[in-house]
Chains A and B, each alone.
Chain A
């Protein structure tokens, strides 16, 4: 017991040390940039703190953040949902297809979300009812969507890419949108606003409602929850369906912000579902933390494109893209386990029917 506490404090202090080191490095960088605006850090700062950089970051964050929020619900309840990528792919395609057919982008979004929820429901049944290994079933969800979306696109549109449909109009708040840099927050697609709302709502649900407590208990100590008279299976079903709902919004928002589904290779989703997993691990299963780490990864991507365009530093895109992945490996290596919920990955059988 005392040993565990000790380990925890030492763990915290390494974490804190690393955090302080990162902050100091950032402060030095910013100071250098401010003192010498002509130096490389100065020029980077100028590119970084532009309205367009922030708005690109927000746009790139939407699918990752939604998928990450969904992943938190599923994993907190004890079901590891590695199929987030698949949920993004299926809703990205269905969202565009439904918009194309109905002619209404909001209806398209809704149908896209429904497709993702259905796929999540299949995943839930397979994992909870038929006790499948969650990792393998999640992999199957990804692979099914990866095959099905380009297949359907080929059948319907005659190619892996769909036709173009309308995109979301940006909502501009007059006055506030004119603020330098932060104005991007008030001049964005409705999906960006929804992302902030969803993050706060997820945090509130998980931390302040009894459903949130059930979700956490079902992942940490399902037996206790069962004893308290709450049906663990139902809580887990609900959590997985919520993950389908949130990832569905993310996927449909991704394709509808471009107005097209691109189905070549890894499709337009291209690993965003996996980055989402990284994001919530980084954020230690906290919705707000997950959103912040999403901003970090999306911001790196947005910054890199701009640095390249402004010919300040020519870091190849392929290498910048590896930063989130390398970062998560380093963090896992240095600080050991991100603590998974106690019963994550395990099937729970209520004692009654045995």
Chain B
């Protein structure tokens, strides 16, 4: 039997395995979401008891609460879409009217916020997912995003004096994205090389590099590259032609459907890369069975470095998008897109296609938290708590399996899923140490 034959066999066995557990993964992610939302309800109720109000917003079991969890979730989820539901549309009470509120359009500005957050999260989520599939935990996504964003903001600013107009846009945007990819990729390659050649644990090095990136960026933006006319720590703003033009949405919404299109194309490309190319095959086998992969001729060190570089490059493009689409310059205090990217990836079971959906969910949560802040008394940090809970529950598939086993008697145990996209071995080994 030839080596290629073995390889094909291995591949089909692997694919069967992934497909068999995909359904279970979706179930676990959904269950984790539902459970997080439920714990969120309890937290909102508890918070409502701890604060004081003149009239109770809602009453359960004869006890009044200051916050109504359902109203909060209504603002959170529907508010993020710009309140699409017609108030007269109550199918549960038998009142049927047009389901959408009159005057609602999917092009509203809150929707733009939701989609622009989704766009950035797709990049960071994909970056984390690719590293994860190679068995590497890239907690450094935030740093890679920051480095990509700063590099893009500076280089595009310097080169924007050379060109202008439509030509400027056509040249500078791809150039800016490429710079972001390069900078983020190089920054991601550092922990990759340290892991591959010095056996340094990537969890430690990436956490450390996050702090290094943020602090050095703060120094650069507060000193040599500071906009002298601004009181804040930020770089000089880019000219309009050097930012991604808005299509369909208002320019003030800072969202471009083109950017979302690029993000979605990258989702497809990552899926194709992982599932249908030999490099993707190397990544996946290294993630599931590093020893076997090496035995099968995969250069482990090279796979680690290249997958971390790719992961960082995608995060860097996310940072470039953040600068070119949302900010128009670099400012300190970059939102935690990188850490949210980890949540997105874990929720998606590290599947690129799942990343699209998970990113949309987190885009909704981030955008909805603004509505919660404005229209209710509940602190918007609630979304931060929900994010932590979602990760916690997704991290414990065993919990749901135990609950599931109580209700369903399964004849076949099926293959257990690990949160890192691999498969649980007998000793449950999740981490690769």
Q: Once bound together, how far apart are the Cα atoms of A265 and B429, in whole Å?
A: 34
Q: Once bound together, how far apart are the Cα atoms of A147 and B36, in whole Å?
A: 14
A146 — which chain B residues lie within 8 A by C-beta? 384, 388
Question: Which of B201, B203, B212 is A326 in contact with, Cβ under 8 Å?
Answer: B212
- Looking at the complex, which of B99-107, B110-118, B150-158, B215-223 is the stretch in contact with chain A? B215-223
Number of interface residues of A (CB under 8 A): 56
Interface pair A337/B199, CB less than 8 Å apart: yes
Interface pair B388/A336, CB less than 8 Å apart: no
A38 beta carbon closer than 8 Å to chain B = no
B413-433 Cβ-contact flags toward A at 8 Å (1 or 0): 000001110001011111111
Q: Once bound together, how far apart are the Cα atoms of A279 and B127, in whole Å?
A: 29
B398 beta carbon closer than 8 Å to chain A = yes
Specify which of A130, A274, A336, A344 lies most central, judged by the most chain B CB atoms within 10 Å of its CB.
A130
Question: Which of B43, B211, B398 is A325 in contact with, Cβ under 8 Å?
Answer: B211
Q: Once bound together, how far apart are the Cα atoms of A135 and B139, in whole Å?
A: 10
Question: Which of B218, B389, B394, B402 is A318 in contact with, Cβ under 8 Å?
Answer: B218
Interface of A is mostly: helix
A124-150 Cβ-contact flags toward B at 8 Å (1 or 0): 001001111111110111111111101
Interface pair A154/B379, CB less than 8 Å apart: yes
Interface pair B47/A347, CB less than 8 Å apart: no
- B205 nearest in chain A by CB position: A329
A147 — which chain B residues lie within 8 A by C-beta? 381-388
Question: Which of A131, A155, A346 is B396 in contact with, Cβ under 8 Å?
Answer: A131
Interface pair A151/B382, CB less than 8 Å apart: yes
Interface pair A316/B396, CB less than 8 Å apart: no
Question: Which of B47, B200, B395 is A137 in contact with, Cβ under 8 Å?
Answer: B395
A54 beta carbon closer than 8 Å to chain B = no
B398 — which chain A residues lie within 8 A by C-beta? 129-132
B255 — which chain A residues lie within 8 A by C-beta? none
A332 beta carbon closer than 8 Å to chain B = yes
B167 beta carbon closer than 8 Å to chain A = no
Specify which of A143, A152, A322 lies most central, judged by the most chain B CB atoms within 10 Å of its CB.
A143
With A322-B211, A325-B211, A345-B430 as contacts: A337 and B201 at CB distance below 8 Å:
yes
Question: Which of A139, A155, A346 is B139 in contact with, Cβ under 8 Å?
Answer: A139
Interface pair B399/A130, CB less than 8 Å apart: yes
Task: Report the minimum CB–CB distance from A103 to chain B (whole Å).
Answer: 18
Interface pair A132/B219, CB less than 8 Å apart: no
With A135-B431, A151-B385, A328-B204 as contacts: A322 and B396 at CB distance below 8 Å:
no
Task: Report the minimum CB–CB distance from B15 to chain A (whole Å).
Answer: 24
Interface pair A126/B430, CB less than 8 Å apart: no
Interface pair B200/A143, CB less than 8 Å apart: no
B35-48 Cβ-contact flags toward A at 8 Å (1 or 0): 00000000100010
Interface pair B429/A321, CB less than 8 Å apart: no
A195 beta carbon closer than 8 Å to chain B = no
Near A by CB (< 8 A), chain B positions 351-408 give 378-379, 381-389, 391-392, 394-396, 398-399, 402
Task: Report the minimum CB–CB distance from A257 to chain B (whole Å).
Answer: 23
Q: Once bound together, how far apart are the Cα atoms of A81 and B424, in whole Å?
A: 20
B31 — which chain A residues lie within 8 A by C-beta? none
Task: Report the minimum CB–CB distance from B263 to chain A (whole Å).
Answer: 24
With A140-B395, A322-B212 as contacts: A151 and B433 at CB distance below 8 Å:
no
B77 beta carbon closer than 8 Å to chain A = no
Interface pair B385/A148, CB less than 8 Å apart: yes
A201 — which chain B residues lie within 8 A by C-beta? none
Q: Once bound together, how far apart are the Cα atoms of A346 and B428, in whole Å?
A: 7
Task: Report the minimum CB–CB distance from B315 to chain A (whole Å).
Answer: 17
B247 beta carbon closer than 8 Å to chain A = no
A271 beta carbon closer than 8 Å to chain B = yes
Q: Once bound together, how far apart are the Cα atoms of A320 and B426, in whole Å?
A: 45
Interface pair A155/B379, CB less than 8 Å apart: yes
Near A by CB (< 8 A), chain B positions 203-236 give 203-205, 207-209, 211-212, 215-216, 218-219, 222-223
Interface pair A349/B427, CB less than 8 Å apart: yes
A348 beta carbon closer than 8 Å to chain B = yes
A281 beta carbon closer than 8 Å to chain B = yes
Specify which of B204, B382, B426 lies most central, judged by the most chain A CB atoms within 10 Å of its CB.
B204
A340 beta carbon closer than 8 Å to chain B = yes
Near B by CB (< 8 A), chain A positions 325-339 give 325-326, 328-329, 332-334, 336-338
Question: Which of B198, B203, B216, B385 is A333 in contact with, Cβ under 8 Å?
Answer: B198
Interface pair B384/A143, CB less than 8 Å apart: yes
- A348 nearest in chain B by CB position: B427
A325 — which chain B residues lie within 8 A by C-beta? 208-209, 211-212, 215
Question: Which of B43, B200, B219, B382 is A319 in contact with, Cβ under 8 Å?
Answer: B219
Near A by CB (< 8 A), chain B positions 105-131 give none
Interface pair A154/B381, CB less than 8 Å apart: yes
Near A by CB (< 8 A), chain B positions 55-70 give none
Interface pair A274/B211, CB less than 8 Å apart: yes
Interface pair B396/A143, CB less than 8 Å apart: no
Specify which of B381, B402, B432 lies most central, judged by the most chain A CB atoms within 10 Å of its CB.
B381
A328 — which chain B residues lie within 8 A by C-beta? 204, 208
B165 beta carbon closer than 8 Å to chain A = no
Q: Once bound together, how far apart are the Cα atoms of A136 and B394, in whole Å?
A: 9
Near B by CB (< 8 A), chain A positions 293-349 give 316, 318-319, 321-322, 325-326, 328-329, 332-334, 336-338, 340, 344-349
A80 beta carbon closer than 8 Å to chain B = yes
B94 beta carbon closer than 8 Å to chain A = no
Interface pair B427/A155, CB less than 8 Å apart: no
With A150-B384, A326-B212 as contacts: A347 and B430 at CB distance below 8 Å:
yes
Question: Which of A133, A145, A148, A318 is B431 in contact with, Cβ under 8 Å?
Answer: A133
A200 — which chain B residues lie within 8 A by C-beta? none
B431 — which chain A residues lie within 8 A by C-beta? 80, 133-135, 345-346
Interface pair A82/B203, CB less than 8 Å apart: yes
Interface pair B429/A347, CB less than 8 Å apart: yes
Interface pair A135/B137, CB less than 8 Å apart: yes
B51 beta carbon closer than 8 Å to chain A = yes
- B193 nearest in chain A by CB position: A333
Interface pair B50/A140, CB less than 8 Å apart: no
A58 beta carbon closer than 8 Å to chain B = no
Q: Once bound together, how far apart are the Cα atoms of A154 and B67, in whole Å?
A: 14
Q: Once bound together, how far apart are the Cα atoms of A278 and B205, in whole Å?
A: 10
6 residue pairs of the A-B complex, CB under 8 angstroms, read A131-B396, A135-B431, A146-B384, A147-B386, A322-B212, A329-B209
B→A interface (CB under 8 Å): 43, 47, 50-51, 137, 139, 194, 198-201, 203-205, 207-209, 211-212, 215-216, 218-219, 222-223, 333, 339, 342-343, 346, 378-379, 381-389, 391-392, 394-396, 398-399, 402, 418-420, 424, 426-433
6 further interface pairs, Cβ-Cβ under 8 Å (given A151-B384, A154-B381): A132-B419, A136-B346, A141-B392, A151-B43, A332-B205, A338-B201
Q: Top 9 nearest A-B pairs by Cβ distance?
A: A147-B384, A144-B388, A133-B430, A347-B428, A154-B379, A143-B388, A140-B392, A147-B385, A332-B200
